[in-house]
A and B are shown apart, each in its own frame.
Chain A
Amino acid sequence: MRSRIRSIWYSIIRISAFLRKEIVEILRQPRLVLTLILGPFLILLLFGIGYRVEATPVRTIFVVDPQSPVRDVMTEYTEGINPLLETVTISDSLAEAQAELRQGNVDLVVAVPADPIAQISNSEQAVFDLYHREIDPYQISYIEAFARIYTDEVNRRVLANVAAQGQEETAGTQEIVAETRNSATQMREALEAGQATQAMQHRNNLVRGAGLLAATVGASTNLMAGLEQDDGNGSNAAVIAERLEQIQSDVNALGSFSGNEEDLSEEIEQTRRIEEEFAELEELLENYRSISPGVLVSPFRSELMNISQPEPALADFYVPSALALLIQHLAVTFAALSIVRERGSGTVELFRVSPISAFETLLGKYLSYFIFSLLLAAVLSALIRWGLQFPMLGSWENLAAIISALIFAGLGLGFVISIIAQTTSQAVQYSMIILLASIFFSGLFLGLELLRPAVQIVSWMLPATYATQMLQDVMLRGSFTRPDLLLALSAIGVALFFLAWALLQRTMARR
């Protein structure tokens, strides 16, 4: 028992050899330490300051034929249609505009169709031709989206104009509605007084007025009913049209009234109903006119509510993934240079002859780099939180657990590289490949969902991928919902430790 305790104690002494040696070696290079802490921080700071959240304005030339009937309207439509649309000029010549585009003086040329009204009258869509010279696929998508928004906006404005016209037309019918409603009231009063002849006369006025309303208001409201968005209860214009139809029907029902009836209670009731319907119609028309044409054609708009509060700034969004990437790179590089350097300088020969085992060597190195990387990560996290004013929403304990697992797995990756690599430069190259793969596949810039499932396998082989997902959760959402990822990352770390151990055993074995 005593000899076992002594053996464990000696093992601890041997492990401590590396614990001290590695840390002293690193600390003896203050510039390296400074670079390791300040370098990543400055990169993040520069990114935060330099990243433009606003989309780039699109410098645009509109090409409109001088004879075009829509030239004035298009001039109006070039302004205020989209804050990102910067109208450089309205040109008559497409060739000149395209020349400007080729020279990079503008970003977009919009060629307005020469006679869109004629095309629409022929049941054809009028087409805006948009020219650009982008090669960046993202910028092309941006231009495409911009073109779609622009065309939708023009269409909306045209429809709003039509709606406004419709409203104006209904305004002229207000008098007719009032007169017709008055005829209904007079007919009811004549009926109630038993004056059949007068009632007949008022009925005729009522029928004529209802017919006139159907012809005037009905036409425009039917048109508008087609343009307006429907909320499921019927559009404003559709309700008006329906009400007119009802009035027409009720008025038509009075057509059988001959004036000889003894009991007029049904006719009285019918005219009262018509009166009420007119009152409603008046109210509907009033409402209809009071609605903005813009609202009539686009009754809905969306407002985003983010339950993640406070909502992170765009640059902040990249902080967790950048932190994961930097810490992984730090751990991988530390470890990757470690054993290959020992092998190059010949110290592995010393280890091979001495009582230290591969396990003790690896554990000693793991511990030293783990402690050092953890300290660096702590300083870096503090600088991000208080130096960059990053809104850290989650718990620091979760953050520490994720970073610890990331360092552990990163060191494993680095040690495997270090043992496989034959030279220091080879180890550096392998580390750079890991870094490059992490930039593309860990979710730093591209969401994992954008990658094909087969390629996602590569993503999930990288410790930074797990850390990015979890750090985004903890730092930006303030929650830790994926403990399974932490387990998986730790499992990768353990697997890499055993792999590195097996490889180092082979390296240090008798040859």
Chain B
Amino acid sequence: MTPAAEMSTPPAREEAAAWTRELTRKFGEETAVSNVSMTLPKGKIFGFIGPSGSGKTTTVRLLTGALRPTSGELEVMGVDPGRFRKRHRADIGYMAQLFVLYPELTVWENLNFVSSLYGVPLRRNKRLHEVLDFVEMDTDRRKLAREISGGMQRRLSLAATLVHKPQLLFLDEPTAGIDPVLRRKFWDHFHELRDNGRTLFVTTQYVSEATYCDLVGVLAEGRLLMVDTPEGLRHRAYGGDIVDLVTKEPLGIRYVRQLRELPFVQGRPRHVAENHVRLVVSEAATDVTELVDWARAQDLEVESVEEYQPPFDDVFVELVKENNIDA
């Protein structure tokens, strides 16, 4: 079984960090989340991707116990969030979409406040330094929260989410509105946390960030379209892997017709350039060799043949198109 296949097989309900079935939440007549069923494996990063207003935050709020579902079932760490005790809440870290800490307090005081909220023992200075080091803000600890940049405020929020060493983290659009370099750093932090055994549920509207996740749920109009690994999603979006074939000679219409007739080629190859076609194959790892053989048989000199990783924005558009949803 390939890693992707292994990942796409959901764990048993009792072994999952969180689990939902037919989870629905309505606000009046409006359905924010509709029949969402998913399983979050422990120790993984579960990306929840969807455009603005697709129901990501509502799902997070349902999972953290802030909202009550209209219908459906859910369990987080084996417990219905409606029955959370203090110890369950202490195991959860929540980073809100907006900066919700206190502008008049310093970075250190904000962190101290959140530590107290979670009952972190009073001898906590070492821990506070640790998390501030983790988000690279230890030297900024005396600054007032209102005086630091938006990016630093997001990092402070992340530090506040981690200060009590939660096992399961819900991060609601942690990278929204910050520059690509910092976004990348955030994802490095998330990977580090995952490698330390934490489970992360990360929502984002940056489709490209799906690639950093172990498992991705695609959400649109409150419906969960699919849950898969990033590779699995690409595969689903295009009906297979995408391969770019570049030859020395031009690839005329005759060659393209022949390519279409190959059994492992899906759909119609597209010309990227005169001597460059992009085609969907069943399995890139094995079908690349077949393609080279085909080119030789046609006396074509292959310049390159390699798997193409389409950007997730394109993948998302394809997936949404497939599901007939206006993204």
Assess whether B98 is interfacial by the CB under 8 Å rule: yes
For A20, the chain B residues whose CB sits under 8 A away are 109, 112-113, 116
CB distance from B1 to the nearest CB of A (A): 37
Assess whether A347 is interfacial by the CB under 8 Å rule: yes
Q: Is the CB of B66 within 8 A of A346?
A: no
Q: Which of A107-156 contact B (CB under 8 A)?
A: none
For A498, the chain B residues whose CB sits under 8 A away are none
Assess whether B47 is interfacial by the CB under 8 Å rule: no
For A510, the chain B residues whose CB sits under 8 A away are 65-68, 81-82
The residue of chain B having its C-beta at the shortest distance from the C-beta of A10 within the complex is B119
Assess whether A13 is interfacial by the CB under 8 Å rule: yes
CB distance from A161 to the nearest CB of B (A): 79
Q: Is the CB of B105 within 8 A of A24?
A: yes
For B40, the chain A residues whose CB sits under 8 A away are none
Q: Is the CB of B118 within 8 A of A354?
A: yes
The interface residues of chain A, by DSSP majority, are classed as: helix
User: Which of B64, B68, B98 is within 8 Å of A353, CB to CB?
Assistant: B64
Assess whether A263 is interfacial by the CB under 8 Å rule: no
With contact pairs A346-B96, A347-B100 given, residues A25 and B66 touching in the complex (Cβ less than 8 Å): no
With contact pairs A355-B90, A510-B81 given, residues A13 and B119 touching in the complex (Cβ less than 8 Å): yes
The residue of chain A having its C-beta at the shortest distance from the C-beta of B91 within the complex is A355
User: Which of B82, B90, B96, B102 is within 8 Å of A21, CB to CB?
Assistant: B102
Assess whether A352 is interfacial by the CB under 8 Å rule: yes
Residues 113-124 of B, flagged 1 when their CB comes within 8 A of A and 0 if not, give 111111111100
For B66, the chain A residues whose CB sits under 8 A away are 349, 352-353, 510-511
Assess whether A243 is interfacial by the CB under 8 Å rule: no
With contact pairs A20-B112, A353-B92 given, residues A13 and B65 touching in the complex (Cβ less than 8 Å): no
Assess whether B94 is interfacial by the CB under 8 Å rule: yes
Assess whether B296 is interfacial by the CB under 8 Å rule: no
For A511, the chain B residues whose CB sits under 8 A away are 66-68
Assess whether B254 is interfacial by the CB under 8 Å rule: no
With contact pairs A353-B65, A353-B94, A510-B67 given, residues A25 and B117 touching in the complex (Cβ less than 8 Å): no
CB distance from B128 to the nearest CB of A (A): 14
With contact pairs A20-B113, A354-B89, A511-B67 given, residues A347 and B101 touching in the complex (Cβ less than 8 Å): yes
With contact pairs A14-B117, A14-B119 given, residues A346 and B100 touching in the complex (Cβ less than 8 Å): yes
Assess whether B126 is interfacial by the CB under 8 Å rule: no
Q: Is the CB of A13 within 8 A of B104?
A: no
For B89, the chain A residues whose CB sits under 8 A away are 353-355
Q: Is the CB of B117 within 8 A of A355?
A: yes
A352 to B120 alpha-carbon distance, docked (Å):
17
CB distance from A504 to the nearest CB of B (A): 15
Residues 38-65 of B, flagged 1 when their CB comes within 8 A of A and 0 if not, give 0000000000000000000000010011
For A176, the chain B residues whose CB sits under 8 A away are none
For A10, the chain B residues whose CB sits under 8 A away are 86, 119
Assess whether A440 is interfacial by the CB under 8 Å rule: no
Q: Which of A1-49 contact B (CB under 8 A)?
A: 7, 10-11, 13-14, 16-17, 20-21, 24-25, 28-29
Most buried by A among B65, B102, B105, B114: B102
For A257, the chain B residues whose CB sits under 8 A away are none
The residue of chain B having its C-beta at the shortest distance from the C-beta of A17 within the complex is B116
CB distance from B16 to the nearest CB of A (A): 20
For B116, the chain A residues whose CB sits under 8 A away are 13-14, 16-17, 20
CB distance from B67 to the nearest CB of A (A): 6
Q: Is the CB of A24 within 8 A of B96?
A: no
Given contacts A349-B66, A349-B96, 14 further A-B contacts (CB under 8 A): A10-B119, A13-B122, A14-B119, A17-B113, A346-B96, A347-B101, A349-B100, A353-B89, A355-B86, A355-B119, A356-B117, A357-B86, A511-B66, A511-B67
Residues of B within 8 A of A (CB): 61, 64-68, 81-82, 86-87, 89-90, 92, 94, 96, 98, 100-102, 104-105, 109, 112-122, 144
**Can you list 14 A-B pairs, Cβ within 8 angstroms, ordered by A?**
A10-B119, A13-B120, A14-B118, A14-B119, A20-B116, A25-B105, A346-B98, A347-B102, A352-B64, A352-B65, A353-B64, A353-B92, A510-B65, A510-B68
10 A-B pairs closest in CB distance: A17-B116, A10-B119, A355-B86, A346-B100, A355-B89, A353-B94, A353-B64, A354-B117, A510-B68, A21-B113
